Amino acid sequence: MFLRSPAYLVMRSRIDSHQHYWRLARGDYAWLRPQDPAVAPLCRDFLPEGLQGLLATHDIGSTILVQATDTEAETEFLLDLAGDEDSVAGVVGWVDLQRPEAAETLLRWSQHPKFKGVRPMLQDLPVDWIERAPCAPVVQALQRLGLRFDALVRPEHLGPLRRFLQRHPELPVVIDHAGKPKLARGWQDPWVDTWREHMAALSAHRGVVCKFSGLLTEAGPRALGSVARGLEAVRPVWDQLLRWFGPGRLAWGSDWPVLTLASDHAGWIDICEVLIGELTPGEQTEVWGGTARAFYGLGAVA
């Protein structure tokens, strides 16, 4: 009988906890402006056929598809797409958490087997929005329906997020992109103390996990061009996250195609294989897929 090695088992368990698809002709991606050089390379369609080869190359069996704009219509689009795409294991959509009627929308979407939660685009909202604006019955509906909350935040949003969680301690929350540390500004910048203080405190909530994703686009040009440069930029973040959350509450993600602003898919994989490869085989399995599987309720590996 052929015995699979631990390394093979680690690779086969991979889940990309954070990726996007969009079709520009839908017309509601306000942030995708061709005249903006920062995002111009993303101003085209990104759909499953563009990612499938990359998933196969790197033994990624499934993904979590995350919203990219603040409309319910986009979530409907993503759910329709996921229904036809086997590699999508879950969808994180968007509702207006300020509207009581959103609870009914969540109930309807919860009937779709791949709908897993919501993500308000907090990074684009006032810093205190999360602690003052969401309608309590809608947050309660998230909890009642077993849905999750993706927190797209920058360091300045982390304090308000903590206060939100103090009022809703049972809500499962994942911090996207490690809280978007402002790596391009360096480790002497004021963001550092804010990020460290609040990320450490958030990690004390057992229902909070963290995505190791989106960091090369925060690191700036100095992280580009080689695995060594990328490692130098993101290792300090990795070391802190590992200390705070441990492998069982860290989930690897690509943030494709936003990733392509800083690196190709393989480059980010290479960096992560070095860092995650320093863990035990069991711990690697958690980061590469186990954490995402447990958090989003994806079930066992086939």
Opening angle at CA 126, ends 185 and 66, nearest 5: 80
The percentage of residues in the chain with a pLDDT greater than 90, rounded to a whole number, is 92
The pLDDT, as a whole number, for residue 2 is 23
pLDDT confidence band for 9 (50 / 70 / 90): very low
pTM for this prediction: 0.94
Mean pLDDT calculated for residue range 187-214: 97
The whole-number pLDDT of residue 300 equals 57
pLDDT confidence of residue 220: 86
For the segment 97-101, the average pLDDT, to the nearest whole number, is 97
Domains of the chain in start order, with CATH, are 6-295 (3.20.20.140)
